[in-house]
Amino acid sequence: MVAVCPLYYYQKEKNRRFMFAFVIRRVTQAVVVMLVISFIGFAIKHQIGDPVRDIVGVSVSVAEREALRDELGLNDPFIVQYVRFVKNAAHGDLGHSFFFKKPTLEVILSKAPATLELVFMSGLIIILVSIPIGIYAAINPKSLFSRLTMGVSIVGVSIPVFLTAILLIYIFSVELHWLPSYGRGETINLHGWESGILTLDGLRHLILPSIALSSIMLPLFIRLIRAEMMEVLETEYIKFAWAKGLSRRRVWLLHAFKNTLLPVITVGGVQLGILIAFTILTETVFQWQGMGFMFLEAVERSDTSLLVAYLIVVGVLFVVVNTLVDIVYGLVNPTVRITGRK
Amino acid sequence: MMKKIFMVFLVVIVALSFGTMAGAKTLKLAMDADPVSLDPHVQLSGGMLQYSHMVFDPLVRWTKDMKFEPRLATKWERVDDLTMRFYLRKGVKFHSGNSFTAKDVKWTVERLKVSQDFKGLFEPFVGVTIVDDYTVDIVTKKPYSLLLNMATYIFPMDSEFYTGTDANGQPKDAIVKIGPSFALMNESGTGRYRVTYREQGVKTIFDAFPEYWDTRSPGNVDKIILTPIKNDATRVAALLSGDVGFIMPVPPQDYDRINKSKNSKLVAMSGSRIITVQLNQNRRAEFKNRLVRQAIVYATNNEGIVKKIMKGTATVAGQQAPTGFAGYDPALVPRYDLKKAKALMKEAGYENGFECTMISPNNRYVNDEKIAEAFAGMLSKINIKVNLKTMPKAQYWDQFDAQVADIQLIGWHPDTEDSANYTEFLLMCPNKETGYGQYNSGNYCNPRVDELVLASQTETDLKKRSAMLQEVERILYDDAAYVPFHWQNLSWAGQKNVMLESIVNVMNFPYFGDLVIE
């Protein structure tokens, strides 16, 4: 039977080799990113401040502080500290947080669920809101509703996210008492993942932060989908589909929308990075105990180990997300795969 | 039919309200940070001392009017110049179930002398001698006038609980600043509250200890849920929306808002944290001239800063320690007089002024950046051009120590709640060996001041001591050794039914064990 379809198995073998090369390239990319980020992080470490100041009281003598610095290895030359760090990192040890007195990876992983849930919920809001509105605005560009949403979206993108957050708190929490003003509420521990999504209280706490965070990206996505969709609707094959007599729903949602998605996915992947960066501001206002809040506190405390570890983790996250975006893009648009072969 | 429903509704409401009146009272407390550790000796800071008062008890503690009240020590008497005898309270239990006796006091003081943060404060102490199970003698190296002040820092810990080795093979009593330790996550004190849940930076739950010794305390709070809320606006919003019942500190810009709100109230009190500016005599020859320093003090409009920048939430200062402290002299008041300032500059020969640099933190003290900017503006009126640079506290202190600028801003609050402490750190001749003048970036050095402060340390006659410290303040005032601005106010806010007025004090150690929620 094998001899009957040699071409089929030949293609499969080529597929496998392609995937293998692809994965190796991506992993190398991740390692290079981590090295560059960690080097930069280390280089500015000395400018960030002295973590020992935060650990000891004001009246502690200079001699004591120096002794502590020696103990922490902060007085060694830069290269020595960096090499030590890279060696440890290869074993999965990204250092110890001065403040939390725990391995940095442990701290980051314990705070990650909070941020990931927030980003996930914001992403959900963005998808669920921008897609219908974007499609509608593309199909009926002159309607009042479309013009209204375009106008409001500009307001959303101009107001800084922390201001949006505080406004939301004051309106919905202080004045109306509808929603809680801070924190994650009740969380359930699922094998180490502190989840707030599974409790009603947790969901209530998730609403305002997600809205605040999504307000940055929402206007962008609505406009992007609208613009792309309008362009796609002008193309030849859509005109052909109309001519064929396909139902409106099929034309809009199956043919037009699928092709709109391609640039949106690419942009989305990049914007995810910006979203993660804005979690720092949003989490601070809502006292949301996620990675962003942890990062800001680490900067204020000069908890340099935690800082550098966070930068590396986020760097890896970016690489992973962009890889996924590329894969998804390849799946959605078969032409990429074929041309890639050449 | 409607009437029946209404009656049922009424009964349910009444029943529910009874349920909340009797039974456990829970306080939701929001501070700007939570304790860094459950080990009280790991760090000397306001936050850790506030925590200590909840979970441990001191031998004696300050009352609202700066007197001492007995806590774990019921009586004390001076045996001789170097020894003070403390009689300990009987029948007190630790959270672990062990009984509190003299050995715990001795153990605690020995640990304090080893702790990096506390050893400086306890340097004058030789140690504790056990007379019997409920009597101890605290012995000092020389006659020490602040013995009782320091006794407020002795929070006896359960020596048995903290003895032995933990699961990681480390001794249980290890004081570890930068790693895990037994005392970091476990506590056993005699205080009203036990820590029953702890997630650092997120939530700490304190439950009332059923065998707490102080049955005469009016406090009725059985559970305290402490959540840190770093962002000032969010903390206030949490109070106003009813999500928390007590917040501290309160940002001054929200005082009005809380006062106007229906369900919350604000309690503010003059504090002892002085905000000052130091003029570096080594960097700038002009500052060596007393007339120039005096001119700068006369050019500083303390009232203006308190009114316009602090919005009234501070008290103008002409000296280091506020009223109630040993060295306070009511005659030393702020002296804003621009004409006199200009005349002094002319007399000193600097009518055309000069240029100089200044640094200030921008996130350490209340409105620190604005105060620095206002001060720079005031100096420009006497032709001193100030180049101001502000920075976050994480970078500031290294620069302060390196004395990178001619004028540097610093605030100070005495750990000993005593006048001498200010001068010891801020204005005594800098001495790397003894540690005096550690924060004297002005390099002001007056042997008479040093002599008086050192003498005050061993002067046990409080009247004589007061006179010495007053003389110190007078010398510093006449010499214009530094520029004082004001004392920051302390502030707390809570819901109307939380009786916080009676538990707060000028040291900012709210005695939560005595808190009543109506």
Question: Residue B220, exposed/middle/buried by CB under 10 A (0-12, 13-18, 19+)?
Answer: middle
ipTM of the complex: 0.77
Work out the minimum CA distance from B415 to partner chain A, whole angstroms. 9
Residue of B123, B150, B177, B438 to mutate when probing chain A, most A C-beta within 10 A: B177
Average pLDDT over residues A154-162: 83
Partner-chain contact A53 B394, CB within 8 Å? yes
Angle at B295 between CA B290 and CA B298, to 5 degrees: 125
> What's the pLDDT at B333?
94
How many whole angstroms from its chain centre is CA B397? 19
Partner-chain contact B237 A102, CB within 8 Å? no
Question: By mean pLDDT, which of A8-22, A275-289, B87-101, B398-412 is the weakest?
Answer: A8-22
Cα–Cα distance between A259 and A229 in angstroms, integer? 8
The helix/strand/coil state of B264 is: strand
Single out the residue of B203, B201, B177, B172 nearest to residue B118, CA to CA: B177
> What's the pLDDT at B17?
46
Single out the residue of A208, A199, A172 nearest to residue A287, CA to CA: A208
Closest-approach residue (CA) in chain A for B121: A59
pLDDT tops 70 at residue B311: yes
> What's the pLDDT at A270?
79
Confidence of residue A209 (pLDDT cuts 50, 70, 90): very high
The helix/strand/coil state of B404 is: coil
pLDDT tops 80 at residue A73: no
> What's the pLDDT at A334?
67
What is the per-residue DSSP string for A244-279? Answer: HT--HHIIIIIIIHHHHHHHHHHHHHHHHHHHHHHH
Residue ranges of chain A whose CB lies within 8 Å of a chain B CB? 47-50, 53-62, 64, 68, 71-72, 96, 98-102, 166, 169-170, 173-174, 177, 180-183, 284-287, 289, 294, 297, 299-302
- pLDDT tens digit sequence for B458-502: 888 889 999 999 999 999 999 999 999 999 999 999 999 999 999
Work out the minimum CA distance from A220 to partner chain B, whole angstroms. 28
- pLDDT tens digit sequence for B415-453: 888 899 999 999 999 988 888 898 999 999 999 999 999
Partner-chain contact B117 A59, CB within 8 Å? yes
Q: Which of A249-253, A298-302, B307-311 has the highest mean pLDDT?
A: B307-311
Confidence of residue A237 (pLDDT cuts 50, 70, 90): confident
Q: Which residue has the tokens 């120590």?
A: B401
> What's the pLDDT at B15?
47
Closest CB from B230, B237, B394 relative to A181: B237
> What's the pLDDT at B7?
62
**Mean pLDDT estimate for chain B:** 91
Work out the minimum CA distance from A94 to partner chain B, whole angstroms. 15
The helix/strand/coil state of A301 is: helix
Average pLDDT over residues B188-202: 92
> What's the pLDDT at A306?
87
> What's the pLDDT at B20?
43
- Taking the Cβ of residue B435 and every Cβ of chain A, the question of whether any pair is shorter than 8 Å is answered with yes
Question: A271 vs A58, which has greater pLDDT?
Answer: A271
Confidence of residue B319 (pLDDT cuts 50, 70, 90): very high
> What's the pLDDT at A342?
39
Question: B379 vs A151, which has greater pLDDT?
Answer: B379
How many whole angstroms from its chain centre is CA B492? 14
**Mean pLDDT estimate for chain A:** 82
- pLDDT tens digit sequence for B385-405: 999 999 988 789 889 999 999
pLDDT tops 70 at residue B8: no
- pLDDT tens digit sequence for B74-92: 999 999 989 999 999 999 9
% residues pLDDT > 90 (chain B): 71
B chain contacts of residue A60, beta-carbon cutoff 8 Å? 44, 116-117, 120
pLDDT tops 80 at residue A174: yes
Partner-chain contact B180 A285, CB within 8 Å? no
Single out the residue of B475, B480, B146 nearest to residue B329, CA to CA: B475
Closest CB from A47, A55, A166 relative to B178: A55
> What's the pLDDT at B1?
67
Predicted model pTM = 0.81
> What's the pLDDT at A197?
83
Q: Helix A6-48 crosses helix A304-332 at what angle (to 10 degrees)?
A: 150
Question: B341 vs A135, which has greater pLDDT?
Answer: B341
Partner-chain contact B117 A56, CB within 8 Å? yes
How, if at all, do strands B26-31 and B246-248 pair?
parallel
Contact B227, A183 (CB under 8 A): yes
- pLDDT tens digit sequence for B109-161: 999 999 888 888 898 899 999 999 999 999 999 998 889 999 999 999 999 99
> What's the pLDDT at A9?
79
